[in-house]
Amino acid sequence: MSATSPLSPPPDAEALLTRHSTTLHSYFQSALARYTAAPPRLMESIAYSLYAGGKRLRPALILESCRACGGDASAMEAAMAGAAAMELIHTFSLVHDDLPAMDNDDLRRGRPTNHKVYGEAMAILAGDAMMTIAFELLAETVPSPTSVSMIRELAANSGPCGMIGGQVLDMDGETRRLKLDELQHLHRLKTGALLTCSCRLGAIAAGVDQQMLSRLSDFGRHLGLAFQIVDDILDETSTPEQMGKATKKDAAKGKNTYPVLLGLEGSQAEANNALAAALDAITPLGDRARPLEAIARFVVERTH
């Protein structure tokens, strides 16, 4: 494609996410079937949350980032393992976030939360098991040295300097009003780390150079900020029926959100700015990045 050739129209984001979700579901069925020696109720609890649906945004970002970076068939296999590992980590975090000791939520994706069905102890153990399965899956299915890089990336972004650290900052912030830069730092860890990691995992699977990895990192970082801002807006403006979970709970708990600091209009403007920065980062990829563009626009334009 020449520099002046027109870009193709972006694909339908929801159809794209649905297609990846269907593929991932089949992958999980095969991956979990081998745990025949595990306690059946533990595996039932894992499946309850893992198969509950959702947008599967992070796995889609991994797969489309790999494709945008020119990943071949073997790279896409590694990306698929990364997509499954990421969704296991993400789902583990949701199961634990819903616990009474954390956000104390009774509804997730339109159904009772895991601990309401299986009890708090089983929900904790199911989350723990999902985390360990994620790393076992990468170690066993992705060849070295790619597997080492992907495991390191996922561990760093889900651990104390990533998602888990962000959750701690979120809890600590309930006792005081944060400044905007503090809130942005919190969400770069709590939400943005795994979204950025998703883009990087796809690029790592494709074996890209540092320049390309930086582009995908920038895209993921800006997208992560846009995602959280929109999430905060929807918590204020949507209904539980639309979201499949409780809404307006952040304000009730005194949590720091973008609407609290910037108002709804200011928050939407910030989300739009973050989207523009994300798209700018992948512009040099041309047509190959159109699916990533579609996903990014969906993140900002979604209503639930």
Confidence at residue 175, expressed as pLDDT on a 0 to 100 scale: 78
DSSP for 75-89, written as a single string: HHHHHHHHHHHHHHH
Q: What is the pLDDT along the chain (304 residues), one digit of tens a residue?
A: 444 455 667 789 999 999 999 999 999 999 999 999 999 999 999 999 999 988 999 999 999 999 999 999 999 999 999 999 999 999 999 999 999 999 999 999 889 999 999 999 999 999 999 999 999 999 999 999 999 999 999 999 999 999 999 999 998 888 788 999 999 999 999 999 999 999 999 999 999 999 999 999 999 999 999 999 999 999 888 766 654 555 556 666 677 899 989 999 999 999 999 999 999 999 999 999 999 999 999 999 998 7
Confidence at residue 262, expressed as pLDDT on a 0 to 100 scale: 93
Confidence at residue 256, expressed as pLDDT on a 0 to 100 scale: 86
List 107's β-bridge partners, or say none: 112
3-state DSSP assignment of residue 112:
strand
**What is the spatial distance between Cα 170 and Cα 165, in angstroms, rounded to a whole number?**
9
Task: Give the chain's end-to-end CA distance (angstroms, integer).
Answer: 36
Confidence at residue 129, expressed as pLDDT on a 0 to 100 scale: 98
Q: pLDDT, tens digit, for every residue of 10-67? A: 789 999 999 999 999 999 999 999 999 999 999 999 999 999 988 999 999 999 999 9
Confidence at residue 303, expressed as pLDDT on a 0 to 100 scale: 80
Q: Is the domain covering 13-301 a CATH 1.10.600.10 domain? A: yes
Token code pair at residue 134: 């994620």
**What is the spatial distance between Cα 262 and Cα 147, in angstroms, rounded to a whole number?**
41
164 sits in which H/E element: helix 163-173
So where are the chain's domains? 13-301
Confidence at residue 173, expressed as pLDDT on a 0 to 100 scale: 87
3-state DSSP assignment of residue 162:
coil
Confidence at residue 240, expressed as pLDDT on a 0 to 100 scale: 63
Q: pLDDT, tens digit, for every residue of 111-137? A: 999 999 999 999 999 999 999 999 999
Confidence at residue 3, expressed as pLDDT on a 0 to 100 scale: 46
Confidence at residue 148, expressed as pLDDT on a 0 to 100 scale: 98
**What's the residue count for the chain?**
304
Which among 150, 128, 129 has a CA at the least distance from the CA of 75? 150
Single-letter amino acid code for the residue at 118:
Y
- Write down the residue that tokens 């790279």 correspond to: 75
**What is the spatial distance between Cα 249 and Cα 239, in angstroms, rounded to a whole number?**
11
Cβ contacts of 63 within 8 Å, gap of 6 or more: 20, 76, 79, 80, 83, 202
**Over the range 45-78, which residues count as b (16 or more CB within 10 Å of their CB) and which as e?**
bbebbbebebbbbbbbbbbbbbbbbebeeebbbb
Cβ contacts of 3 within 8 Å, gap of 6 or more: none
64 contacts 195 by C-beta, under 8 angstroms: no
